[in-house]
Amino acid sequence: MSEPKIIEIETLSPDDPFLFTQTPPPEKQSIYELLEDEIMKSDLPDSEKTKKLSRLLKNREKKVNLMITGATGAGKSSTVNAMFHMEVAKIGVGADPETAELSRYELDNLTIWDTPGLGDGAAKDEKITRSIIRKLNEADEHCDPLIDMVLVVLDASTKDLGTSYSLINNVLIPCLGKKAAAERIIVALNQSDIAMKGAHWNAEKNEPDEVLSAFLDEKAESVRRRIRESTGLDLRPVCYCAGYKEAGKSQRNPYNLTRLFYCIIRSIPKDKRLVLADNINDDADNWMYDDKESDYRKETENEFFDTVWDCIADSADTGSEIGGEILGIPGKIAGGIIGGIAGAVRGIFSAVFGTI
């Protein structure tokens, strides 16, 4: 895994939640390195190993850019900290003066663009909005949109979502276009645990009770309806809790982060998803609790199996394919390296999510 680029800035205070000064933890082995090892250990002919390694190396050059935005106090910082391996993140600002309002956090090939909180004044909001529009209209070296997806964090505990609706309806969707917006925007309601002023949250199970669950469902449906009525776009919000620390108390574990991460994975182009696998927060407690509407851990793992298949397979593999019924995964994996590849990918997510 390459060492993240260090960017010197003077715009962040020592109290900034993303300014880490502690010694980084020991570097873990990259998923790309694990896959390289398994390809080399396989009984494939050397020419086939070379082809697969070449395709894997090309995939390793892929870069992911995520934008996270929302109103002040919605919990953007805690969300990013909970999902990604931020202890080794390097901090920067926009690469040019026109986007200097945006902070940049780099983790290998993953870049997170964090916008300042909206809702603190019309003049400030206008400046931030212009920076967002410019960044959304940037292209990468291949002339594709630079930003792969946008996560809009809303505060489930407030009724005042006007600023966020304006951002979604009047900025993000018009910038991206409806088709791209449907694929690349995720709306998420954070702080679900305090949506009813802290009532009806089962602290022991770290989940909402029936009353709060019904309230959150209605809140999400209200947001969904408001966006659909204004834009015609149907975006189903994810209700979650990023977790937080209270003075003198222990960290509250996140809730439904597994669902949110799965939605992010689905929004990222398939050939870029391994970048997220390399940078996921490996604190298993963060992924323990969810709404159980689906097995998000297994579905996330399946998405990465499918990505690995697309990354290393070619038409020559059709004679040695094994269907999903054997591993319980979608797609097909080349038979000659199926055991090692499956074990490498499953090992990463078992370590992160716990036993799957």
Q: Label residue 7 by pLDDT band (50, 70, 90).
A: very low
More confident residue, 192 or 5: 192
Instruction: Judge whether 274 and 33 are in contact, CB under 8 Å.
Output: no
Q: Label residue 322 by pLDDT band (50, 70, 90).
A: very low
Of 47, 29, 48, 45, nearest to 37 by C-alpha is 29
Q: Label residue 201 by pLDDT band (50, 70, 90).
A: very high
Q: Label residue 244 by pLDDT band (50, 70, 90).
A: low
> Phi and psi for 163 in degrees, rounded to 5?
-60, -40
Which letter does DSSP use for residue 241 in this model? B
pLDDT over 90 for what percent of the chain? 45
- pLDDT tens per residue, range 78-97: 999 999 988 766 665 555 54
Residues of the chain with CATH 3.40.50.300: 63-291
pLDDT of residue 14: 41
Is residue 22 over pLDDT 80?
A: no
- Between strands 64-70 and 110-114, the pairing is parallel
Is residue 317 over pLDDT 90?
A: no
pLDDT of residue 250: 58
Average of per-residue pLDDT values in the chain: 81
Q: Determine which helix (DSSP H) or strand (DSSP E) holds 261, and give its type and residue range.
A: helix 257-267
pLDDT of residue 42: 80
Instruction: Judge whether 231 and 178 are in contact, CB under 8 Å.
Output: yes
User: Is CATH 3.40.1010.10 what the domain over 63-291 is classified as, yes or no?
Assistant: no
Number of residues that this document lists for the chain? 356
Q: What CA–CA distance (Å, rounded) separates 309 from 49?
A: 14
Structure tokens at 160: 């005042």
Is residue 355 over pLDDT 60?
A: no
Sign of the torsion formed by the C-alpha atoms of 117, 119, 123 and 126: positive
- What's the mean pLDDT in 50-76? 91
pLDDT of residue 328: 45
Q: What CA–CA distance (Å, rounded) separates 342 from 214?
A: 39
Q: Which residue has the tokens 């799965």?
A: 262
pLDDT of residue 327: 43
pTM of this structure: 0.83
pLDDT of residue 32: 87
